[in-house]
């Protein structure tokens, strides 16, 4: 099972007429936020694959050059605070980042993110009863606290993501938000979970 995972930056190799040839062995597409909705719609219309996303803190209504107004990415499934099954995998998501200003969208305090995480618990328990596991892949915008996060408030990770991994043991936590250039750390192991910073995109065999 191969996934194309995108986040935070428009990539020329993806936003290209050759996208179908370059990614002809992909089974699904995941997005971790902060991408233009028009870019996401190009991806899903070109690849025609199951596509799932969460919002980042910079996501907002987009006015296209053609005069259209996009309130979200058409053809994508929003995973925020829910789980779904696709191609034999159980996927879930939590949007946004740590609150750093009063008016920002998709920004949350640690307490708010704890409450948002609790909203997922009924579906996680149902997955365990029906499929023998809670979740396979959690996609987030922000990283967990202390793993791939930054020191400034806007890029500080959520502590509750550590508790989530300890309790529900996803195989993967895929995130964006912290931009990597050069040889920054992008993959870490936390208990049973591979935590992967996918900026700006990665092809991951799940």
Domains and their CATH numbers in the chain: 2-205 (3.60.21.10)
Please state which of the ranges 50-64, 74-88, 139-153, 169-183 shows the lowest mean pLDDT: 169-183
pTM comes to 0.95
Share of the chain above pLDDT 70, in %: 99
Q: Is the pLDDT of residue 122 over 90?
A: yes
Sign of the alpha-carbon torsion through 13, 17, 22, 28: positive
Who wins on pLDDT, 41 or 185? 41
The pLDDT, as a whole number, for residue 181 is 72
Confidence class for position 64, pLDDT limits 50, 70, 90:
confident
Cα angle 9, 81, 171; round to 5: 75
CA 143 to chain centre: 10
Q: Checking DSSP bridges between strand 51-53 and strand 77-78, what pairing results, if any?
A: parallel
The mean pLDDT value of the chain amounts to: 95
Confidence class for position 66, pLDDT limits 50, 70, 90:
confident
The pLDDT, as a whole number, for residue 183 is 62
Using the structure block, give the residue that is written with the tokens 């609150």: 99
Q: Please state, as a whole number, how many other Cβ atoms lie within 10 Å of the Cβ of residue 89.
A: 18
Using the structure block, give the residue that is written with the tokens 């305090």: 109
Extract long-range pairs of 178-185: CB within 8 Å, 24+ residues apart. Answer: 178/143, 178/148, 178/149, 178/150, 179/8, 179/9, 185/148
Quick one: average pLDDT of 52-75? 92
Q: What is the dihedral of CA 11, 13, 19, 23, to 10 degrees?
A: -100
Local structure of residue 25 (DSSP, 8 states): T
pLDDT tens, position by position, 68-104: 899 999 999 999 999 999 999 999 999 999 999 987 8
Pair 102, 94: CB distance under 8 Å: no
The pLDDT, as a whole number, for residue 182 is 63
Who wins on pLDDT, 129 or 179? 129
């Amino acid at each position: 099972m191969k996934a194309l995972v995108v986040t935070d930056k428009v990539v020329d190799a993806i936003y290209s007429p050759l996208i179908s040839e370059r990614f002809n062995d992909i089974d699904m597409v995941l997005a971790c936020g902060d991408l233009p909705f028009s870019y996401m719609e190009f991806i899903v219309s070109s690849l025609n694959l199951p596509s799932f996303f969460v919002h980042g803190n910079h996501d907002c209504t987009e006015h296209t050059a053609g005069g259209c107004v996009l309130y979200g990415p058409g053809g994508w499934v929003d995973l925020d605070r829910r789980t779904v099954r696709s191609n034999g995998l159980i996927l879930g998501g939590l949007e946004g980042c740590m609150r750093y200003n009063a008016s920002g969208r998709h920004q949350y305090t640690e307490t708010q993110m704890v409450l948002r995480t609790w909203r997922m618990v009924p579906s996680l328990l149902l997955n365990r009863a029906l499929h023998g596991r809670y979740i396979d892949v959690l996609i987030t915008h922000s990283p967990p606290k202390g793993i791939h996060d930054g020191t400034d408030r806007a890029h500080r990770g959520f502590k509750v993501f550590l508790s989530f991994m300890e309790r529900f043991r996803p195989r993967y936590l895929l995130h964006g938000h912290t931009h990597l250039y050069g040889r920054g750390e992008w993959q870490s192991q936390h208990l049973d979970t591979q935590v992967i910073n996918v900026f700006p995109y990665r092809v991951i065999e799940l």
